[in-house]
Amino acid sequence: MEKDPTLVFLMETKFKVSEMDGIKRKIERQEGLVVPSVNRGGGLALLWKRTVKVDVLTYSPRHIDVVVFEEQGTRKWRFIDFYGHPETGKREESWKLLESLSNRSNLPWICMGDYNEVMYAREKEGGRVRPEGQMRNFREAINRSRLRDLGYVGSDYTWSRRLGSRGWVRERLDRALVSTDWAEMFPSMKLYHLSNSVSDHCILVLKEARVPWWQRKRSKLFRFESM
C-alpha cells in the first residue's frame, strides 16, 4: 500500500511548537497547525503538503477542525482530528465537544482520531469489562452528531498493551466517523489499520480503495495518516 498521505495527524506528540520543526522537515510537510503539549502531556499536530489548500477553523487540546478545498475551491469539506479525553471521568467533555463541532457547519465532514472509548463490548479484548453505560454514552453522542462509523480494513483492534501477568488488553479506540454526505462524496474511501513498532496504537490510513480504472473519478482524493 502506498503511504504518502497528503494530511498527517499526530496525537500525543509531547512536543512544543518549535520542537515539531524537525519532524515537519523529515516528513516534508511544512504547512500545518501544531497544538503544543502541556507539561509534556498531550499535543496535537495536523500537517499537510503545500499543494493542498486547507483553512483552519478551530482547535483545542482535543481537536483540530479544518476545511479542505478541492477542484480550485469548487468543492470543500471538513476534516476534524479528534482526541478523546484519556480520563474516564472527563470523557463526557469530549462528547459535548463532538456534538458542538457537528453544529458549526453544514459541510460534509469526517471526524477521525483516538476517541479513547469503544462503542461495543466486542471492540475490547482482555482487562476489565467496559461498563455498558459508558459505551452507550459514546454511541449516543455519535448519533446526536449525525455521524456513522466508516468501518475499517485490517486488525479488529487499534490499541494494545500488556498488563504484566494479566495478559494483553486490546481495544478499538481509533476510528473514523463520517457524515452521510461525506460518505456519498467519497464512496470508495476506506480506513486501513496498519501495525507499527513505535507506538501501542495502529497507524490509521484513509485512502481510496483500488477500483478498476473505468470506475475511477478524475478528482484528486486525499489520504490521511494518524498515529
Please name which of 182, 115, 119, 173 lies closest in space to residue 146, comparing C-alpha atoms.
182
Domain that holds residue 35: 7-226
Could you report the per-residue pLDDT of 140-155, keeping only the tens digit for each?
999 999 999 999 999 9
- The answer to whether the pTM exceeds 0.85 is yes
Give the contacts of 14 (CB within 8 A, at least 6 positions apart): 37, 40, 41, 42, 43
Residues facing residue 77 across a β-bridge: 68
Is 185 a domain residue? yes
- At 60-75, the pLDDT tens digits run 999 999 999 987 778 8
Percent of the chain with pLDDT over 70: 88
Question: Do 58 and 104 form a contact (C-beta atoms < 8 A)?
Answer: yes
Q: pLDDT grade, residue 41 (50/70/90)?
A: confident
pLDDT at 24: 72
Within a domain: 2: no
Residue 14 has pLDDT above 80, yes or no: no
pLDDT of residue 99: 97
CATH code for the domain of 129: 3.60.10.10
Domain count within the chain: 1
Q: How far is CA 88 from CA 117, 134, 172, 219, in A?
A: 9, 9, 16, 41
pLDDT of residue 1: 41
Within a domain: 1: no
CA distances from 2 to 22, 95, 140, 208, 218 (A): 23, 33, 35, 11, 19
Q: Tell me, what's the pLDDT at 221?
A: 45
What grid cell was written down for 144?
446526536
Residue 224: predicted pLDDT = 52
Rounded to the nearest integer, the mean pLDDT of the chain is 86
Which residues have a Cβ under 8 Å from the Cβ of 146 and sit 6 or more positions away?
A: 102, 179, 180
